[in-house]
Homo-oligomer: A and B are copies of this chain.
Amino acid sequence: MAAPGWSERARELLQRMNSFHGAGSPKGLCLPFMVAGQQVGHMPQSVAQRLCQYPAVFSVAQGDKAAACVELNKQLASFEERTAAVQGVLKELKEQQAFPCLKEWREELYNVMPYFCDAPLFSMERAATPLLGVKRYGAHLNGYTWRNGQMFMWLGRRALNKPSYPGLLDNLAAGGIASGLGVRETLVKECQEEACIPASLAAQAKPVGTVSYTYVGAHGGIYPECQFVFDLELPEDFVPQVGDGEVQEFYLYPLHKVKEVIGSSDFKPNCAMVALDFLIRHGYIQPDDEPQYAEMVEGLHRTL
């Protein structure tokens, strides 16, 4: 069989990153995770069984006609109470080595809410979100520049000691939005930390939309993620520098080479989606040339 062409590989990338919506998804077997009467996640049954061994915090509720759901104990009424109770359970599960994803515990808190615009209901350890299937938010930067009238894009290569996707290509700067931080604030911080982009330059980054998707991870965890995307035109003489060591090296790629690595196993998948969105928004990929164009734009922007 011939190797799949670029369109086919890009399509497979989007299908993989939206596997929660695809054939064979565990979606139908997940229980809605409810906090204060609002759904904030999708919980795999194996996780629900384990969490319900802590009935002061988690319990399965069965409505009249509604299907079962997992509820956070309603007596946990404040942000602080919920955060402390959930974090206590998760720490115990981590010590028991109950779930593989908890090995990546970072002591970094993410806010949990039905939508990004809502007040957070509680916050929780970043590494544990796939167990509850709650939404995660991040900020990603497309850094581009010009050489002889041609557009080029800066990409980073992740350090080999990163717990996730070591050694793969990444956007110029990117990071998750931790509890208490704003979108642009996160971006400017990551620009400084990862690529030594000074705050004055990072401040010129333009927000241009989001990329959103839900995938099922290796251990059955659920990852509904929304990345706020920024474009930053860099001066011709600017060269990013390795900062906190999360990136080992930077490359300046012409757009045809960026396109080539999208859908290859060398590019961290969600970063490849951000780069694909860039190529579409900048007219490098055109609807009359790319048969999958309409489906690609849809696949980059799934409703969480």
Binding site for B on A (CB under 8 A): 115-117, 137, 182-185, 206-210, 212, 226, 228, 280-283, 286-288, 291-295, 297-304
Contact = CB atoms under 8 A, between A and B. Distances in A.
Contact of A288 (B182, B212, B293): B182
Contact of A212 (B210, B286, B298): B298
The DSSP consensus for interface residues of chain A is mixed
A281 B299 CA distance: 17
B294 A207 contact: no
Contact of A208 (B137, B210, B283): B283
A283 to B, nearest CB: 4
A287 B212 CA distance: 14
Contact of A281 (B182, B208, B288, B293): B208
A137 B226 contact: no
A116 B304 contact: no
Contact of A294 (B185, B212, B292): B212
Nearest to A184: B288
Given A210-B293, A210-B298, A298-B303, 10 more contacts: A116-B295, A117-B292, A184-B288, A185-B288, A210-B294, A210-B297, A228-B293, A228-B294, A297-B301, A300-B301
